[in-house]
Amino acid sequence: MAETVNFTGALDRDVLRRAKVIAAQNDTSVNALFNAELRYLVETYEAAGRNGNQNYKTLLDFSLGRTDDLQAKSALGIESDEDLFLLMAQARLPMPRLPASRTQAMVDELSALVATPAP
What is the per-residue pLDDT across 35-58, written as a single tens digit (0 to 9) for each?
Answer: 998 898 899 889 888 888 899 999
Predicted local distance difference test score (pLDDT) of residue 118? 65
What is the per-residue pLDDT across 88-119, written as a single tens digit (0 to 9) for each?
Answer: 999 999 988 877 788 888 899 999 888 877 66
Confidence of residue 73 (pLDDT cuts 50, 70, 90): very high
DSSP track, 33-94: HHHHHHHHHHHHHHHHHHTT--HHHHHHHHHTTSS-HHHHHHHHT---HHHHHHHHHHTT-P
